[in-house]
Amino acid sequence: MENLFEDLMTLRYIVKNQSRIIDEFKSGKRYLKLQEDFRRVSKGYIKEIQRLRYENSVAHAQAITTRDIWTDECDEIWKKHLKEMKKKDTIIHNLEDRIWTLTRKSDEKIARLTEDYEDIILEKDKIIDELKSQLVHTEALLDRDGTNTNLPTSQTPPGKKKHIPCSRRGSGKNKGGQPGHERHSLEKPSPDEITDMVDHELDENFYCPSCGSDDWTCTGEYEERYEYEVEVNVKKILHKFWMYRCDECGEILWSGIAPNLQAECQYGPNVQAMALSLMNTTNAAINKVPMFLSGITNGEICPSEGYIAKLQKRAATRLEPFMHGLFKELISRSLICWDDTVIMINKERGCLRFYGDDDIAYFVAHEKKDLDGVIEDGVLDSLSNQAVVMHDHSSISYNDRFIFINVECNAHLQRDLQKIVDETGHEEPAEFKELISETIKDRNDLLAQGKKGFGKRYIKQFERKISDILDRWRETANNNESKYSGPLERAVLNRFPKYQENYFAWVKDFSIPTTNNLSERSLRCSKTKMKVSGQFANVRTASYYAVIKSYTETCRRNRINEMEALMRLCAGNPFTVEEIFSTG
């Protein structure tokens, strides 16, 4: 941005000098100067012509006066005078020719300079227009936030008011609790839920504030206060697996050892589940997990970073059957959302992709963000021609190999429209955005009333408004010559002849969402992970994170406690897809 500012200042200095000359031509000052120079030279010639003509007239008058006393000597003088007059006439004609030549050359020079400077003016006007367009674009870049880009609210520039997306209609009421609203507080436990009781008695050295006596007698009355508290107790459990001998044949048998107790000494499922939750839900850095566990256990439990890394791999490996079952459940759904985002993998740009709906969260990680990764996932390839897929105008989804129904995210469309408005000031995209917002609000009002769709008249009116706006906008966009805002404006406008039905399918079918916010919310955790950890070591560790995230997020969406799900996973008995959806 600093280099751009320096370039702008340099260009402004150059344009200022050229603008002074251009302004002189535009105002006529430069033409007046050229004319003044010409008049100054011509004035000398004209003055000389007048002098010579005057001398000729005087001589002619003398000749007429003396004609009565004409002599041979006078005749000679007259001839000599005529000769001089002819000579002077020749000089006069030469001066007049010179004046005409100067006039012609002056006019040609002025015409040539005018033509040259008209070209210069046009060139400088283009530079000025380019600079103006560049300044508008720069201001638009500085003004970007969640209204015109995918920039999250947390990254709103300093000094700028944060935009909190909300499609609900205002109630007109003040924020906070409303008059007459019942106050809620933490509910006290029942008597049989009390685990500990603490009696608070007076100190032995306490004296009466009135008389100073230290004699007190308890009345038996008391006030109750309740407190919820968590206490971490480290358990060191000894498991005994007994040996048995068959009384008939003497065969030696051992009681079965659980899969999670194969080593002589190991951390239990609770500790492992807490470590996995810290790594994959709270997105703690791998070196912070041992610090936290050591802190809450007073140093008794402090796993190494290597153990945490192996724990991730072990958990992801145990979830392979779960991911296979989740894939089958996912491709059977009638509506799924998908999106992907950039993550860093070993200093390179990788990809974390999400597929799912309100109940399913299916994450995958790849080294590249491309069609090959989507094909490798196999989700879109496996969908039928009746399935509906919501995305962010991804060209991948329109590949000929896929047969599902595409629907587009209107939140991204509205941000694109706002970006165009910010850079161009055009009314049509602002009007288009407002139409979409109002229609979404009308739909939400009908959904709140239990309605299942708009009437045919409303839909036709909506389509007519779109057609009218697009017709007017097309002419405006074609006249936008800015290399910054012009291509985006025309690109967005040119989508609608082909993708209008994909963008506005939700107007005719209320079961289709208006935005792909579900996918964006699901992927937001990865940005926090990148802020904390910076990157994944390789695509395998990124895949471990994706698999564990798929398991915990799917359990949470189906009202299964995450810690319970992780403890079962660490004990070697994770929830199955069948259990989750039968429980949900």
CATH number at residue 334: 3.30.420
Q: Structurally, how many domains does the chain consist of?
A: 3
* Residues 525 and 402 reside in one and the same domain: yes
pLDDT tens sequence across 486-518: 888 999 999 998 999 999 999 999 999 999 999
Domain-located, residue 229:
no
**What does the pLDDT read at residue 445?**
92
How far apart are alpha carbons 518 and 34 in whole angstroms? 72
How far apart are alpha carbons 315 and 309 in whole angstroms? 10
| Residue 182 pLDDT class (50, 70, 90 cuts) | confident
Range of the domain at 118: 2-142
* Residues 374 and 421 reside in one and the same domain: no
Strand, helix or coil at 301?
A: coil
Domain ends where: 508, 542, 573?
Answer: 508
Question: Which range, 66-75, 227-236, 380-389, 422-431, is most confident?
Answer: 380-389
* Residues 450 and 371 reside in one and the same domain: no
**What does the pLDDT read at residue 150?**
58
Provide CB contacts within 8 A for 425, sequence distance 6+. none
Domain-located, residue 418:
yes
How far apart are alpha carbons 137 and 143 in whole angstroms? 10
Judged against a pLDDT cut of 70, whether residue 158 lies above it is answered with: no
How far apart are alpha carbons 565 and 576 in whole angstroms? 10
Domain ends where: 112, 142, 172?
Answer: 142
Domain-located, residue 435:
yes
- The mean pLDDT value for 101-106 works out to 70
Judged against a pLDDT cut of 90, whether residue 50 lies above it is answered with: no
Judged against a pLDDT cut of 70, whether residue 559 lies above it is answered with: yes
Domain-located, residue 253:
no
pLDDT tens sequence across 285-298: 999 999 999 999 99
* Residues 398 and 451 reside in one and the same domain: no
How far apart are alpha carbons 294 and 301 in whole angstroms? 5
Least confident of 134-148, 198-212, 374-388, 434-448: 134-148
**What does the pLDDT read at residue 178?**
73
Q: How far is CA 274 from the centre of its chain?
A: 34
Q: Which has the closest alpha carbon to 547: 380, 352, 383?
A: 352
Domain-located, residue 254:
no
How far apart are alpha carbons 462 and 439 in whole angstroms? 8
Judged against a pLDDT cut of 80, whether residue 399 lies above it is answered with: yes
* Residues 329 and 426 reside in one and the same domain: no
Q: Cα torsion for 159, 165, 167, 168, to the nearest 10°?
A: -70
Report the interhelical angle of 496-503 vs 485-494 (nearest 10°).
70
State what percent of residues in the chain have pLDDT above 70.
75
Judged against a pLDDT cut of 80, whether residue 101 lies above it is answered with: no
- The mean pLDDT value for 248-262 works out to 83
Domain-located, residue 215:
no
Place of tokens 């509506």: 335
Q: Two tokens at 300?
A: 């008794």
* Residues 464 and 560 reside in one and the same domain: no
Cβ-contact 410, 436 below 8 angstroms: yes
**What does the pLDDT read at residue 175?**
72
**What does the pLDDT read at residue 144?**
62
| Residue 255 pLDDT class (50, 70, 90 cuts) | confident
* Residues 398 and 473 reside in one and the same domain: no
Judged against a pLDDT cut of 70, whether residue 140 lies above it is answered with: no
**What does the pLDDT read at residue 17?**
67
- The mean pLDDT value for 446-470 works out to 94
Taking CA 134 as the corner, what is the angle to CA 133 and CA 137, rounded to the nearest 5 degrees?
A: 85
Judged against a pLDDT cut of 80, whether residue 82 lies above it is answered with: no
Go through the chain and tell me how many residues it has.
Answer: 584
**What does the pLDDT read at residue 100?**
73
Domain ends where: 126, 142, 158?
Answer: 142
* Pairing assessment for the beta strands 348-356 and 361-366 based on DSSP bridges: antiparallel
**What does the pLDDT read at residue 310?**
95
Element (H, E) at 297: none
| Residue 246 pLDDT class (50, 70, 90 cuts) | confident
- The mean pLDDT value for 234-258 works out to 87
Domain-located, residue 26:
yes
Judged against a pLDDT cut of 70, whether residue 194 lies above it is answered with: yes
- The mean pLDDT value for 100-124 works out to 70
**Is the four-CA dihedral 29, 34, 37, 39 of positive or negative sign?**
negative
**What does the pLDDT read at residue 567?**
95
* Residues 569 and 461 reside in one and the same domain: no
Element (H, E) at 345: strand 335-345
**What does the pLDDT read at residue 483?**
81
* Residues 339 and 416 reside in one and the same domain: no
**What type of residue sits at position 41?**
V
* Residues 491 and 502 reside in one and the same domain: yes
* Residues 20 and 59 reside in one and the same domain: yes
Domain-located, residue 121:
yes
How far apart are alpha carbons 273 and 562 in whole angstroms? 9
**What does the pLDDT read at residue 562?**
95
Q: Residue 413, CB half-sphere, CA atoms under 13 Å: how many? A: 26
**What does the pLDDT read at residue 151?**
57
551 to 226, 319, 368, 396, 575: CA distances (angstroms): 37, 8, 23, 26, 9
Judged against a pLDDT cut of 60, whether residue 129 lies above it is answered with: yes
Element (H, E) at 365: strand 361-366
Taking CA 477 as the corner, what is the angle to CA 476 and CA 481, rounded to the nearest 5 degrees?
A: 105
Place of tokens 């209204």: 147
Q: How far is CA 214 from the centre of its chain?
A: 71
Least confident of 92-96, 150-154, 432-436: 150-154
Q: Is 552 exposed, middle or buried (0-12, 13-18, 19+ CB in 10 A)?
A: buried
* Residues 60 and 34 reside in one and the same domain: yes
**What does the pLDDT read at residue 180?**
72
**What does the pLDDT read at residue 147?**
62
How far apart are alpha carbons 243 and 251 in whole angstroms? 10
Place of tokens 């802190």: 295
Q: What is the mean pLDDT of the chain?
A: 84
- The mean pLDDT value for 124-132 works out to 71
Element (H, E) at 253: strand 252-254
Q: Is 128 exposed, middle or buried (0-12, 13-18, 19+ CB in 10 A)?
A: middle
How far apart are alpha carbons 141 and 422 in whole angstroms? 10
